[in-house]
């Protein structure tokens, strides 16, 4: 009887051991599976994006990611991959940011970034070429006053999903005359002076670029807005080819370009606060931190 009980206890114990053993090897293999499913790859965007530099710093800065790859693509390509993964409830790790409609369209989360390699809260700045204040004081004044909220930018970006950015910007300007007045009240009109705005090719900056273009046009300027890579943007303002930009993300995202050209650029400060970059995953993924991504 006693013998039987001891054997019983032993078999219960060994059953428990088998279970726990199973448990841990299962979570190891789950992690390996997740890594395999992700191909140990972060799905990135345009190689010239500031956020891609931060993603490279992240791969280098987190030991678990040292053997991971950063896939260079385009924002449209990344969004296609994201949509496809979500349709199939598959895991995916992307370079993401706010403001962008991806967070409104999909249930996503930023992975915690204890090392801060993806930056923290970013400001979007207005920069101008040296000499602009003397040459175009009216434009300088409007640009110096220009500032708006994330919600404003998002309104233009959302409308631009169904119409041209120009039309979305006109709509925003028409419905936000109070804000536009704050930027333009008392500023002298000009006639036909040509003005070169430089932007970047992302929706957020196509939105702000088009709004400020139309506001300056209302003041009498003839404005062109040219979207380029961040590196080219800073270079063109520093060399005086472009007059101004409302597109730079600082201090981190475009920090290296700013550092390179800061002596030849005038920074008029933030026109929007609360922008952010990060490593982003669908909310159904069972991880919370960059440190939870499995090492290869």
Q: Which is nearer to ligand PBE, 184 or 277 (CB)?
A: 277
Closest distance between ligand PBE and the C-beta of residue 211, in Å? 15
Closest distance between ligand PBE and the C-beta of residue 272, in Å? 11
Q: Which is nearer to ligand PBE, 49 or 139 (CB)?
A: 49
Sole residue written with tokens 């530099």: 53
CA 84 to chain centre: 20
CB 130 within 8 A of CB 244: no
The C-alpha atoms of residue 270 and residue 147 are separated, in whole angstroms, by 7
Q: Which is nearer to ligand PBE, 117 or 277 (CB)?
A: 277
CB 214 within 8 A of CB 169: yes
Q: Which is nearer to ligand PBE, 180 or 275 (CB)?
A: 275
The secondary structure element, H or E, covering residue 166 is helix 165-175
Q: Which is nearer to ligand PBE, 230 or 282 (CB)?
A: 230
Q: Which is nearer to ligand PBE, 48 or 220 (CB)?
A: 48
Closest distance between ligand PBE and the C-beta of residue 231, in Å? 10
CB 180 within 8 A of CB 173: yes
Closest distance between ligand PBE and the C-beta of residue 200, in Å? 6
Closest distance between ligand PBE and the C-beta of residue 46, in Å? 8
Closest distance between ligand PBE and the C-beta of residue 136, in Å? 26
Other residues' Cβ atoms within 10 Å of the Cβ of residue 230:
26
Closest distance between ligand PBE and the C-beta of residue 117, in Å? 14
CA distances from 78 to 81, 94, 95, 252 (A): 5, 7, 8, 22
Q: Which is nearer to ligand PBE, 172 or 202 (CB)?
A: 202
The C-alpha atoms of residue 117 and residue 58 are separated, in whole angstroms, by 5
* CA angle (228, 44, 70) in 5-degree steps: 120
250: number of CA atoms within 13 Å, CB side? 21
Closest distance between ligand PBE and the C-beta of residue 100, in Å? 7
Whether the link from the prior residue into 251 is cis, omega within 30° of 0, is yes
CA distances from 62 to 76, 198, 236 (A): 27, 35, 34
Q: How many residues does the chain have?
A: 296
Q: Which is nearer to ligand PBE, 34 or 237 (CB)?
A: 237
Residues that bind ligand PBE (CB under 6 A): 45, 49-51, 97, 200, 202, 204-205, 230, 249, 253, 277
């Amino acid at each position: 009887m006693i013998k039987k009980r001891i054997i019983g206890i032993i078999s219960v114990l060994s059953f428990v051991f088998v279970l726990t053993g199973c448990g841990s090897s299962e979570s190891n293999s789950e992690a390996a599976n997740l890594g395999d499913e992700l191909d140990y790859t972060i799905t990135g965007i345009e190689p010239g994006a500031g956020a891609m530099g931060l993603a490279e710093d992240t791969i280098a800065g987190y030991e678990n990611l040292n053997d991971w790859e950063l896939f260079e693509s385009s924002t449209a390509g990344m969004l296609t991959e994201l949509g496809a993964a979500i349709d199939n409830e598959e895991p995916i790790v992307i370079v993401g940011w706010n403001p962008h409609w991806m967070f409104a369209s999909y249930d996503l989360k930023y992975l915690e970034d204890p090392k801060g390699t993806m930056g923290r809260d970013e400001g979007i700045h207005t920069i101008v070429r040296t000499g602009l204040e003397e040459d175009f004081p009216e434009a300088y004044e409007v640009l110096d006053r220009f500032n708006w909220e994330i919600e404003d930018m998002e309104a233009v970006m959302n409308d631009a999903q169904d119409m041209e950015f120009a039309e979305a910007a006109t709509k925003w300007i028409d419905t936000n005359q109070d804000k536009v007045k704050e930027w333009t009240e008392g500023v002298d009109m000009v006639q036909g002076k040509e003005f070169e705005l430089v932007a970047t090719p992302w929706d957020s900056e196509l939105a702000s670029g088009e709004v400020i273009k139309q506001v300056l046009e209302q003041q009498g300027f003839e404005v062109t807005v040219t979207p380029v890579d961040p590196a080219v943007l800073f270079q063109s303002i520093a060399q005086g080819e472009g007059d101004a930009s409302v597109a730079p993300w600082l201090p981190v995202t475009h920090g290296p370009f700013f550092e390179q050209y800061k002596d030849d650029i005038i920074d008029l400060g933030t026109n929007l606060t609360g922008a952010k970059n990060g490593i982003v995953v669908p909310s159904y993924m069972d991880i919370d931190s960059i440190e939870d991504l499995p090492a290869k």
